[in-house]
Structure formats: C-alpha cells, structure tokens
C-alpha cells in the first residue's frame, strides 16, 4: 500500500456521505443549551457528589464543634482516631470530586491544538500539585497534633512502652496520616494517566 | 450573528461530520458529541475575528472540543451506569466501500489525539502551513509528522490490524 492509496481511500470513503449526523438536528435549538446530554450528565453527577460530600462533611464538622465547644466533651485520643478517619475520608472524597470538576471545566478552545493541550497540562499539574501540598500540610500537621496529644495523655516520652495496647493503633493511624498524601498523589497519577499519556504524545 | 453562524455551520457541516467520525467512530454518543461541538463552537464564535478562514477556526475549535470530550470520558467515574445507547450495537454495513471506510477509520482510531488531527487535515488537503497554524507546530514539523503517521497507517492497514 502506498501514500496515494491512503488519500484515495479517504476520498472514496466520503463520496456518498452516508449517515449524516446533522440530519434532523436543529442548530438553533442546540446552541441554546449549555452542554449536550452526555456531558451534562457527567457534570451534574459530579456536582451532585460534591454537594453530597460537602453536606455530610459540614454536618460532621458542625457535630464535632457542637460536641467540643458547646457540650465541652473532652475526647480521649482513642475516640479522636475513628472520628479523624471519618473526617479524613469525607475531606478526601470532597476535594477529589472538586478537583475532577475543575479539571473537566478547563479548556481553551480558541487556541491552536498544541497550545490548548499545554494549557490543559498546566492546569492539570496545578490541580495535582495543590492537591498534594494541601494534603501534605494538613495531614502532617494532624499527625504532629496526634503525637503531641498522645504524649500528653501518657505523660511524656518516658512512658512509651510496648505493653500499651493502644500504642499500635496510634502508630497505624499516624502512618496512615503520613502516607495518605503520597497515596493521593499516586491515585491522581493513576486517574489522569490516560490523559497524560496523550499529552506526552511524541507529536507534541 | 446567530443566523450568520448557522449559515456558516451548514456550509461547513462536512468538516464536523469528519471530525466526529475521526474521534468518535462507532461511538454510540456520536450524535450527542456532535451537538456538544456545535455548542462550544457557538460559545467560541464571538472570539472569531476573521483573522483566519472560518474553516481554519472551525477545525481548531472543533478538534479542541473533540479532544476535550475524549478527556472528559476518561475522567468519568469508572463504574458509571451504562446508558441505553451503549446497549445498541451499531448497524453493520456490508458493502466493500463501507468496509474500506471502516478499515480506514479503525486504523486512524489507533492514533493519538494530535496525530488524528494532523492526518485529518492532511487528508483534507490542507497545506503544511495551514496544518501548522491549526495545530500550533512549525511547517517543518508537520511534514515530518505526516510522514511518520502515514507510514504507521500504511503499516496498520497493510497488516490488516484494525
């Protein structure tokens, strides 16, 4: 097969122009819409999830504040761990959905295709970096607070012992806190892998 | 402005058809994505200032939108519900002309998003300078990439891998 065959194949393929998509389409009606059905569905699904997670997270934070500030309950380190894990899960879910939404709404249609891809790549990297750094700061700070709280509870370093049954739980919890930002980074890389491989295309 | 836009779209309808075929060949949502491209073209239309030909601008915005839709699909939740469209098996066309078309589109489908855009513009007989303007690469680069893509396509078509 030669180059000219390719051009001939292309021309032959479009002689009849069968199965026109535009048949029965009313352009005037379509351009009144914000998005087509499929894209609208994707976007509204994400918006709904953001709303759901945000509401649950807000209720959770309000309840915690109510318990600590209004009722004056002094949580032991043992009860802080499960509560923190729930809060962490809600926070991660909310921010992940928000990030997904940000990534999906970024585009620069009027730019040349390569410039538009570079624009998208920058935005994607920005979202990933901000995501990673905010988790890193937040969770490492939380880990420091948990360690400090635990040491205060047991009366300092000198009382650390292998026989304390609660200590392994605290250790696991702190490890989770320290590893989560890296896990999020890995998750983001996996999620956007297909897009990035397209952006890294040699033709770029 | 709206009437002018509609008239221009009707005049260049074939371009949109080809872009949809290149990026969404045998995709059950092709018609829906065609509509999305129309919507995005309309939203971007105020930015069209006659600095280039309408068709050049149309290719740029429509290809950017098509690539963006492909991206949106890949970020979509993994366990998204299957719609009624996805249950439908596309109608098979059995004559040899359709077979050829099918072979060609399936081969093009194996290319990357940018490669698809380059080969589409080349097969539509755009000059290297025009392709460079739409894609945003130099004329020299266009030539090199077209040769590479053509060889790749010829290899795929020749091997019957589609």
Average pLDDT on B55-79 reads 80
* pLDDT for the residue numbered A204: 46
Average pLDDT on A17-23 reads 65
Of B137, B139, B143, nearest in space to B114 by CA: B137
Domain count, chain A: 1
Contacts of A194 in chain B (CB under 8 A): 74
Kindly state whether residue A177 falls inside one of the protein's structural domains. yes
Give CA–CA dist A129/A137, Å, rounded. 12
Q: Where does the pLDDT of residue A45 fall: very low under 50, low under 70, confident under 90, or very high at 90 and above?
A: confident
Domain count, chain B: 2
Q: What is the CATH number of the domain that holds B33?
A: 1.10.1740.10
Find the domain containing B118 and state its range: 96-162
CA-nearest residue of chain A to B43?
A: A31
Asked if residue B109 and residue B83 are part of one domain, the reply reads no
Kindly state whether residue A110 falls inside one of the protein's structural domains. yes
CA-nearest residue of chain A to B47?
A: A110
**Average per-residue pLDDT for chain B:** 81
- Return the half-sphere exposure (C-beta side, CA atoms, 13 A cut-off) of residue A13: 22
Kindly state whether residue A188 falls inside one of the protein's structural domains. yes
CB contact under 8 A, A201 and B112: yes
Average pLDDT on B37-56 reads 85
Of A64, A131, A143, nearest in space to A92 by CA: A131
Of A78, A67, A72, nearest in space to A146 by CA: A78
Q: Which residue has better confidence, B91 or B34? A: B34
* Percent with pLDDT over 70 in chain A: 86
Average pLDDT on A132-151 reads 85
Of B146, B140, B94, B107, nearest in space to B124 by CA: B146
Average pLDDT on A104-118 reads 81
**Average per-residue pLDDT for chain A:** 81
Kindly state whether residue A144 falls inside one of the protein's structural domains. yes
Least confident of A93-102, A162-171, B90-99, B130-139: B90-99
Q: Where does the pLDDT of residue A4 fall: very low under 50, low under 70, confident under 90, or very high at 90 and above?
A: low
pLDDT in tens, B79-128: 444 454 444 445 444 556 667 788 888 888 888 888 999 999 998 888 99
- As given in the structure block, the two tokens for residue B94 are 């059995």
A-to-B residue pairs, Cβ atoms closer than 8 angstroms: 168
Kindly state whether residue A12 falls inside one of the protein's structural domains. no
CB contact under 8 A, A112 and B67: no
Q: Do B153 and A6 touch, CB atoms closer than 8 A?
A: yes
* pLDDT for the residue numbered B84: 47
Q: Which of B103, B136, B154 sits opposite A112 (nearest CB)?
A: B136
Residue with tokens 């077979």: B99
Q: Where does the pLDDT of residue A18 fall: very low under 50, low under 70, confident under 90, or very high at 90 and above?
A: low
Contacts of B64 in chain A (CB under 8 A): 107-109, 111, 113, 116
Of B71, B73, B55, nearest in space to B18 by CA: B55
* pLDDT for the residue numbered B32: 87
pLDDT at A59 over 90: yes
pLDDT at A82 over 50: yes
Q: Which of A12, A34, A109 sits opposite B100 (nearest CB)?
A: A12
Asked if residue B156 and residue B105 are part of one domain, the reply reads yes
Give how far Cα B45 sits from Cα of A96, B1, B42, Å. Answer: 33, 9, 5
Contacts of B112 in chain A (CB under 8 A): 198, 201, 203
Q: What is the CATH number of the domain that holds B161?
A: 1.10.10
Q: Which residue has better confidence, A1 or A97? A: A97
Asked if residue B68 and residue B2 are part of one domain, the reply reads yes
CA-nearest residue of chain A to B97?
A: A13
Mutation target vs B (from A5, A35, A36, A42; most B CBs, 10 A cutoff): A36
pLDDT at B5 over 90: no
Q: What is the 3-state secondary structure (H, E, C) of chain A?
A: CCHHHHHHHHHHHCCCCCCCCCCCCCHHHHCCCCCCHHHHHHHHHHHHHHHHHHHHHHHHHHHHHHHHHHCCCCCCHHHHHHHHHHHHHHHHHHHHHHHHHHHHHCCCCCCCHHHHHHHHHHHHHHHHHHHHHHHHHHHHHHHHHHHHHHHHHHCCHHHCCCCCCCHHHHHHHHHHHHHHHHHHHHHHHHHCHHHHHHHCCCCC
Give CA–CA dist A155/A42, Å, rounded. 53
Least confident of A26-35, A108-117, A190-199, B16-25: A190-199
pLDDT at B4 over 50: yes
pLDDT at B77 over 80: no
Q: What SS3 class is residue B49?
A: coil
**What's chain A's length in residues?**
204
> Looking at the whole model, is its pTM more than 0.80?
no
Phi, psi of B81 (to 5 degrees): -65, 145
DSSP class of residue B47 equals G
Contacts of B9 in chain A (CB under 8 A): 27
Residues 6+ away with beta carbon under 8 Å from A152 = none
DSSP class of residue B66 equals H
Kindly state whether residue A176 falls inside one of the protein's structural domains. yes
Average pLDDT on A19-23 reads 67
CB contact under 8 A, A192 and B75: yes
Find the domain containing A45 and state its range: 26-199
Asked if residue B32 and residue B10 are part of one domain, the reply reads yes
Average pLDDT on A128-145 reads 86
* pLDDT for the residue numbered B121: 92
Q: Where does the pLDDT of residue A179 fall: very low under 50, low under 70, confident under 90, or very high at 90 and above?
A: very high
Asked if residue B152 and residue B102 are part of one domain, the reply reads yes
């Amino acid at each position: 097969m030669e180059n000219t065959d390719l051009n001939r194949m292309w021309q032959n393929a479009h002689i009849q122009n069968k199965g026109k998509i535009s048949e029965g389409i009313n352009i005037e009606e379509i351009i009144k819409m914000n998005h087509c059905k499929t894209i609208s569905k994707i976007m509204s699904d994400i918006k709904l999830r953001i709303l759901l997670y945000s509401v649950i997270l807000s209720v959770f934070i309000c309840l915690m504040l109510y318990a600590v500030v209004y009722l004056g309950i002094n949580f032991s380190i043992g009860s802080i761990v499960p509560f923190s894990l729930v809060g962490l899960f809600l926070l991660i879910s909310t921010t992940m959905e928000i990030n997904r939404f940000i990534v999906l709404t970024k585009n620069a249609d009027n730019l040349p295709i390569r410039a538009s891809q570079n624009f998208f790549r920058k935005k994607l990297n920005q979202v990933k970096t901000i995501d990673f750094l905010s988790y890193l700061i937040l969770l490492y700070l939380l880990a420091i607070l948990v360690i400090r709280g635990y040491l205060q509870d047991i009366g300092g370093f000198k009382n650390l012992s292998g026989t304390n049954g609660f200590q392994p739980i605290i250790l696991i919890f702190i490890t989770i806190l320290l590893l989560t930002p890296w896990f999020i980074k890995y998750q983001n890389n996996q999620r956007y892998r297909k897009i990035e491989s397209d952006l890294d295309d040699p033709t770029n | 402005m709206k009437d002018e836009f509609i008239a221009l779209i009707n005049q260049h309808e074939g371009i949109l058809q080809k872009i949809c075929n290149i990026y969404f060949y045998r995709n059950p949502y092709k018609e829906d994505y065609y509509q999305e491209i129309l919507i995005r073209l309309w939203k971007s239309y105020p930015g069209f200032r006659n600095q280039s030909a309408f068709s050049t601008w149309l290719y740029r915005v429509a290809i950017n939108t098509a690539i963006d839709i492909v991206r949106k699909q890949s970020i979509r939740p993994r366990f998204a519900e299957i719609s009624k469209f996805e249950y439908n098996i596309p109608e098979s066309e059995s004559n040899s002309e359709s077979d050829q078309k099918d072979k060609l589109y399936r081969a093009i489908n194996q290319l990357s998003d940018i490669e698809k855009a380059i080969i589409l513009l080349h097969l539509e007989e755009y000059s290297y300078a025009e392709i460079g303007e739409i894609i945003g690469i130099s004329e020299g680069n266009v030539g090199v990439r077209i040769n590479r893509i053509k060889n790749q396509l010829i290899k795929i078509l020749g091997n019957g891998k589609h």
